[in-house]
Structure 1
Amino acid sequence: MTPSFDLIIRNARDMTGKPVSVGIRDGMIAAIESTESTVEGAGAEYDAHGQTLGSGLHDHHIHLLATAARMESANLSDCRTEDAVIARLRTHSGDTNAWVRAFGYDERVAGLPDRDQLDIWLPQQPVRIQDRTGGYWLLNSAGLARLGKQSLPSCVERDADGRPTGRIWRGDKWLRERIGGSPPSLAALGQTLAQWGVTGVTDAGASNEIDEAKLLAGAIRQRLIIMGTEALPNGEGYALGAVKLLLDENDLPPIEQTVARIAAARALNRTVAAHCATLGELLFYLEALRQSGGARTGDRIEHGSVIPESLIGDIAAAGLTVVTQPNFIHDRGDRYRAQIDKSELNDLYRLGSLLRGGVRVLGGSDAPYGDANPWIALRAALDRRTGDGAVIGAGEAVNRSAALALYQHAPLTVGAPADLILYDWPEETGSLGEVSLTLIGGDIVWQR
């Protein structure tokens, strides 16, 4: 009896260039033929015309709501002078009752401006600017007035007289709740991710709880994992991720507090994932894990921005996963070269040395703080080039197979979900991949 399929993809090639065809049924891969012969059966057919067929890409560290909001905001990342910042803000001003929201401000332009300086830049309309790190929100006086006269939390900086300066540190959730308004639409972001071949994402918000889960679940077609606090429950439309520990070297909690949070995660049968953008944060996390009885499979180091070679063996022995962002070598590499001692550059966003040392490594964008296009990260994993073409950590470069493994769960196998992409990724140095077809659960969600 001739088997039937919902879709048959013919005339594709696998990563090695060998012919491959796939039959899809009920959202799963039902048949694979990886020789010159092809899947036999009845069903709708798609001719791949020799393109590469592979698993869809998973962004293992992204901030969905912030990324969607940035799509609706003024981008200051390419503004190198104060006049350029002012011009960009005023271009996005209009209705004096509406917020002007901006992101990507570089403190090298004019420091971290306070409310008085922002009042000069944009005096009438409420403005909130996020700095390039995502840690600070900067508000003018009109913006601060929108916060009301209720008591302000410690994340709101005050001057010696107790007057709010307009600088808010790590106050995203509080600010969102105080300002109110409609959350950004995720539909456009989901479609853009599908065009890049992203079929799954892990939202890495440290403050995610039930309200955030309600906003995220079902808002995009991609498979969704949500990290967050211990209070984040299981729910429909997403898988429950690690308890996220947001560490800040300038304000680390008592280590006993972090040990207690790790214990709480263990009691919930959840893994832990810590923001480790500095060596101090990484060492703190490793010690907290040691005091908690050690790491468990699935515990993660988020970013691993600075990892000395001497710690690679310890990370491997602990069984920790490093979720890194190769795209930051491209996005921020030239700034790193200007600000960091040359002898320390090889410690940045390690990749090849971690893999050779037996460490499991996954890739994420950290969007909106990094570029959400995974092909930029994949290219940087191969060549370690900055935006200006300089190379950082040449020994950390990996081959195409290892780069793709950061974002693809496994090779094509019968019984796996039909989360698939057809793409071309030229061998030329500096090239980006182009996706022509993206399927999630066997459904076509993007087709060029």
Structure 2
Amino acid sequence: MLIRDVDVEGLGRVDVRLGGGRVVGIGRRLAGRGDVDGRGGALLVGLHDHHVHLAALAAEAASIRVGPADAGDREGLVAALRRGAPGEWARAVGYHESVAGELDRRVLDGFAPDRPVRVQHRSGALWVWNSAALRAAGLDGEGDGRFWRQDERLRGFAPPVRLDLRGVGARAAAYGITGFTNADPLPGEGLPELLSVLPQRLVVMGAGDAPVKFLLDDATLPTPDELAASMAAVRPRPVAVHCVTRVQLLVTLLALDEAGPVAGDRIEHGSVIPAETMPWLARLGVTVVTQPHFPVERGQEYATDVEPDDQAHLYRCRSLAEAGIPLAAGTDAPFGTADPWAAMRAAVERAGGEAMDRRAAMDLFAGEPRHPSRARRLTVGAVADLCLLHVPLKEALDLMSADVVRATFIGGRRITPPE
């Protein structure tokens, strides 16, 4: 395939030839008949979402969104849960207490008494079931209907949900995404095969030689020695440790010091990173895979939910990069937006000295799948996972919008619909 007249960073307007799944030639007026006229638009490496939950994202099509921006308030939540036939299961996602306070089975019974209802908290960690759902599942003795990190157990008690994986793949291609890292802590048996219908390249944590994810919760936090032993047990594979509080980060750093870091080790989220820990992170060389858009999407809730002492340390960007800490980003969809361009914009617009320059923000999603902080560039010999834009790179950086994406190629094959 020959793509003519594209803007390649550092080279200007050139032609690019693809063959055997790779870039085999870059230059002006390459010989042969052009297959695609780039019309001066930028040709970039495809984006990689370094932290996403693909099965949950695919289930959104069969779910009711009840987050603050969707339901709004108690009345909106009640209306959303009652929308549907009596007796029909309702699966609601994205809930936060700012909508209608704490939920349990009795509260949900008052909201929707005539149908089985299960509501997932925005964090993804908590499900709340009403009495009708518990009875239908044979779980009526399960107390207040609140289930913390019990997805695997609950899966067999609720009706299966249709997973729109093809829709996920098509929407991602429209964003210019050519790869995903699925970040489920306990990938179910057969998950890589289930996800294989996606056109994007996949890294599935916990499968093959991909990083092994450790999910930390303050209530069940291991000691540093215990976590280090767990890390040592999976070496030489890298680890990806879920860290959303100060204490989780501290335990992880102590454990990495004891177990010894390896290439590919990651800290997921890095929600709270105090300044005094940054030299430690830099010394270990561990990559932080963050979500720069969360302070934008959740700013109102964070203002009340997050301890005042932690506010200045939320989802750092620029300060981590300036400290020499390897940095990348993932959307955490469906628990955040699935649009990486929105995350890039958020990284550029951050307050408190955390704003990144535009090229660095784009690089958060341009890293190697196994080494997310190593930015890829379009060069001869590179894998032909590419994103063609409507506009030159400078204009794309100014706009920072998915609207600039014209076509996406994986292994040199176009996966977006033809124009």
| TM beyond 0.5 | yes
Cα displacement (A) at 1:209: 4.2
Cα displacement (A) at 1:220: 0.3
> For residue 303 of structure 2, what is the aligned residue in structure 1?
337
> What is the RMSD of the two structures over their aligned residues, measured on CA atoms?
2.1
- Residue 58 of structure 1 pairs with residue 48 of structure 2: yes
Q: Which runs of 5+ in 2 are unaligned?
A: 368-375
> For residue 174 of structure 1, what is the aligned residue in structure 2?
153
- Residue 213 of structure 1 pairs with residue 181 of structure 2: no
Farther off after superposition, 357-366 or 105-114: 105-114
What SS class does the counterpart of residue 144 from structure 2 fall into? Answer: strand
Given the superposition, is the C-alpha separation of residues 163 and 174 from structure 1 closer, same or farther in structure 2, using an over 3 Å criterion?
A: closer
TM-score, normalised relative to structure 1: 0.85
Contact 1:379–1:432 at 8 Å: present in 2 too? no
- After superposition, the C-alpha distances for 1:353-383 in whole angstroms (9 at most, x for unaligned) are 1111111111100111110100000111111
- Residue 371 of structure 1 pairs with residue 337 of structure 2: yes
Cα displacement (A) at 1:81: 1.8
Q: Which amino acid aligns with 2:22?
A: M
Identity %: 40
- After superposition, the C-alpha distances for 1:74-118 in whole angstroms (9 at most, x for unaligned) are 111122321110011122x2262x320111111123322111111
Farther off after superposition, 297-306 or 105-114: 105-114
> For residue 271 of structure 1, what is the aligned residue in structure 2?
238
Counterpart selection for 1:295 from 249, 253, 261: 261
TM-score, normalised relative to structure 2: 0.91
> For residue 20 of structure 1, what is the aligned residue in structure 2?
14
Aligned length: 404
1:258-407 equivalent positions in 2, closer than 5 A: 258-266=227-235, 269-292=236-259, 294-340=260-306, 344-384=310-350, 392-393=351-352, 395-407=353-365
Q: Which runs of 5+ in 1 are unaligned?
A: 1-6, 153-161, 235-239, 385-391
CA distance in 1, matches of 2:99, 2:160: 30
> For residue 191 of structure 1, what is the aligned residue in structure 2?
170
CA distance in 1, matches of 2:145, 2:250: 32
Farther off after superposition, 196-205 or 396-405: 396-405
CA distance in 2, matches of 1:295, 1:433: 40
Farther off after superposition, 269-278 or 418-427: 418-427
CA distance in 1, matches of 2:309, 2:399: 26
| Structure having greater relative contact order (Cα 8 Å, sep ≥ 6) | 2
What SS class does the counterpart of residue 365 from structure 1 fall into? Answer: coil
CA distance in 1, matches of 2:314, 2:300: 12
- After superposition, the C-alpha distances for 1:32-51 in whole angstroms (9 at most, x for unaligned) are 12xxx23x232552111111
> For residue 237 of structure 1, what is the aligned residue in structure 2?
none
CA distance in 2, matches of 1:49, 1:181: 46
CA distance in 2, matches of 1:199, 1:325: 19
CA distance in 2, matches of 1:416, 1:396: 32
- Residue 412 of structure 1 pairs with residue 378 of structure 2: yes
What SS class does the counterpart of residue 123 from structure 1 fall into? Answer: coil
- Residue 441 of structure 1 pairs with residue 399 of structure 2: no
CA distance in 2, matches of 1:286, 1:296: 13
